[in-house]
Amino acid sequence: MAASINTHFFLMITLPAILIILVFSGSATAQLSSNFYATSCPRLPTIVLNGMRQAVSSDRRMGASILRLFFHDCFVNGCDASILLDDTATFTGEQNALPNRNSVRGYEVIDTIKANVEAACNATVSCADILALAARDGVSLVGGPTWTVPLGRRDARTASQAQANQLPSPFSDLATLISNFNDKGFTPAEMTALSGGHTIGFAQCSSFRNRIYNATNIDPAFATTRRATCPASGGDSNLAPFDTTQNTFDNNYYRALVARRGLLRSDQELFNNGSQDALVRTYSTNPARFNTDFAAAMVKMSNLSPLTGTNGEIRRNCGVVN
């Protein structure tokens, strides 16, 4: 009898404790944390910041390019550095998917930073985490907000060209954009804030030609200006800035939208008598509000289905699986 009470007591105390430990260890591996490398690679943030400083000072557009690289990584199977895997004779990755090919830039910047990180902390930091930090630094170096990056992602051993081909199209209407972002867990308002990434950088003629020649919801003077360097045929890769301050992260993208000077169809859809008009107006007059919302949405994007714990790997070279 005494033995059975003892056993009972033992189970009553220990079972819940075991359950609690199991639950917590489960979430500890699934959750990212900003101090993940605090002891294993304390210099990581400095190494990434220095790498981005160098990259942006020799090519100011690189802040924009790395931000886009990160977006295209996170929207395809989560932020797992899958976009960094190079194609080989036996492996087809994401770099040659239509939205990425001859368009996404900055792979070599991440490779250089990774080499510096490896020199300081061998086989410790994922390419996915380096990219998340680099995107944050690229934004803040060109005048944008900063945010705390949760860390502890691991790198994918696979990639999906098919899914990369599903990245949002510049020819989309508002309903499609809302649906694309909803699929990844974002509200329409978060989609509108994230689209403000287009406050920096450039697009190629082929992605906005149809708009500047055929759209009616466009400022005619703006259409004329853009046509000067984006002919009706040819010049597909000629560049135009998204707004008049393409090297500075500010709220001019939204001011452009209100003036019907959005470059892509998908940009102007955010201000075209639809559900996002009011928020676009708010951001066009309230840069602080845009910065806050953008930073929050970036943290959310950087949490998209990361590989953690023992899933994936810490790639030695960002372009190839170990």
Q: How far apart are CA 225 and CA 243, in angstroms?
A: 12
Question: 148 and 136 in contact (C-beta within 8 Å)?
Answer: no
The answer to whether 198 is a known ligand-binding residue is yes
Q: Are 286 and 236 in contact (CB under 8 A)?
A: no
Do the annotations mark residue 219 as ligand-binding? no
**59 a known binding residue?**
no
- To ligand HEM, the closest distance from the beta carbon of 134 in angstroms equals 13
129 is in an annotated binding site: no
The whole-angstrom separation of Cα 68 and Cα 264 is: 15
72 assigned to active site:
yes
For 241-267, b/e burial (b = at least 16 CB within 10 A) is bbbebbeebbbbbbbbbebbbbbbbbb
Residue nearest to ligand HEM as judged by C-beta position: 201
For 146, residues 6+ apart whose C-beta sits below 8 A from its C-beta are: 136, 139, 140, 295
Q: Which CB, 107 or 202, lies closer to ligand HEM? A: 202
Residues that bind ligand HEM (CB under 6 A): 61, 64-65, 67-68, 71, 103, 105, 168-170, 172, 177, 194-195, 197-198, 200-204, 207, 264, 266
Instruction: In angstroms, give the least distance from the CB of 36 to ligand HEM.
Output: 23
Separation between Cα atoms, residue 303 and residue 150, nearest integer Å = 8
Minimum distance from residue 179 beta carbon to ligand HEM (Å): 11
**Cβ 188 to ligand HEM, closest distance in Å?**
11
Which of residues 215 and 321 has its CB atom nearest to ligand HEM in the complex?
215
* Conformational region of residue 182, where left means phi above 0, alpha means psi within -120 to 50, and beta covers everything else: alpha
Catalytic residue among 61, 68, 72, 153: 72
Tell me whether residue 78 is annotated as binding: yes
Residue whose C-alpha is closest to residue 239's, from 192, 247, 169, 97: 247
User: Annotated binding residues for heme b, as ranges?
Assistant: 198
User: Annotated binding residues for Ca(2+), as ranges?
Assistant: 73, 76, 78, 80, 82, 94, 199, 243, 245, 250
Q: Which residues are annotated as catalytic?
A: 72
